[in-house]
Amino acid sequence: MRVMMLSWEYPPRVVGGLARHVQELSRAMASAFEVHAVTCSVEGAGALGRDRGVWVHRTDPIGPCVDEFMPWAMQLSHAILARAFRVARETGPFDIVHAHDWTMALAGAGVKRELGLPLVATIHATEWGRNGGLCNPMQRRISDLEWFLCYEAWRVIVCSSHMQNEVGAVFGLPIDKVRVIPNGVDADQFEQARAYRGTGASPSSNESIILFVGRLVREKGVHTLIEAMPKILSYWPRARLIVAGRGPAEGSLRDLAASLGLGGRVSLVGFVPDDERNRLYGMAAAAVVPSLYEPFGITALEAMAAGTPLIAADTGGLAQIVRDGVNGWRFYAGNPNSLADAVLHVLHCPEAAGQIAEVARREVLSTYDWSAIARKTRDVYEEVLKETAAPEEAIAR
């Protein structure tokens, strides 16, 4: 089987969890299939490369340089469509095309129509969910593209039953068009973190590190975590919050920490490479995923794989991954007091926290392995190919 993946980001271009998802899924599938990923160019990477068996084709957006994301995304979508045609012309016919999120809606539909390929789509999140509704013309336009991608696809993959309900409610998708396949994590990448596992304190001080890793946007709830710090510090003065990531909310988060008088107790360290991320996971007494909206939560799996005690908001897919007191701890989303209580419980009970973190790590190895996720995705492909080969029979069923 020859598979074409379409994604606006692919490492080393990493903006959010989508890039890691597409890379790890493509790598895992490349052991059995020929996988070609068509994506955006990035400095330091050539127009054609290999990534653990995956052929990676990169292209620049078509048109003049623009600052706004929506027109840039449309320019990129047209460029990826053109590059996909070229790849098919030069390497031979494909069996299926798999498009990820709204930025690839037009490209996915174009490849489907012009090359006669069945289209599978993965919806990683919805604009409606990210914003608690559609509040301006750009959000409505993005939501329209998400609907269009779902409409054009033969099957739609989502990462949790929460997302299955969401795409059903927002886009009116019939349940038999949607398949739930969880996100995964490469646990081997986080073995390095376990080498730092000890007391949950920085080796150079007596601090207890609380860690957040992710994009700095409001939906990730970092402001809730910062607002919880005064209570945490009142009961555990040695606590220190490290925020690893970048995004448009960085300035407001710095202002919030300053207004609460947190000083050196909160450090926003920007984007960190994988080695530094793993070191922080290993040193942390707790990793917190405080999202207000979260279809799944790959960073939660990262913390679990690293053996770091996990504290997560009880929202979206996180509520399905994290079972309170079993493989982590949950708190009321958006509630700083509830979050602080969960953190303090972990800090005061390090032995119990370590035992639960070990349960979580074993669960990652058995449930969220990329090879298993690739097999489930392959099953969806085979299902689609069988139905599209005999559409009348499928419709009759």
Give tens-digit pLDDT for 22-38: 999 999 999 999 999 99
CB 232 within 8 A of CB 266: no
**C-alpha angle 281-283-284 in degrees, rounded to nearest 5:** 65
CB 331 within 8 A of CB 313: yes
In terms of Cα–Cα distance, which of 180, 68, 80 is closest to 123? 180
Span 129-171, pLDDT tens digits: 989 899 999 999 999 999 999 999 999 999 989 999 999 999 9
Q: Return the DSSP state at 292.
A: S
Q: Is the pLDDT of residue 194 over 80?
A: no
**Which residues on neighbouring strands pair with residue 241, listed in sequence order?**
210, 266
Kindly state the average pLDDT of the residues 70-95: 96
3 state DSSP class of 161 = helix
Span 220-242, pLDDT tens digits: 999 999 999 999 999 999 999 99
Alpha carbon distance 193, 111 (integer Å): 41
Residue 391: is the preceding peptide bond cis (ω within 30°)?
A: no
pLDDT more than 70, % of the chain: 96
- All domains in the chain, ordered by first residue: 2-184+369-396 (3.40.50.2000), 187-367 (3.40.50.2000)
Q: What is the pTM of this model?
A: 0.84
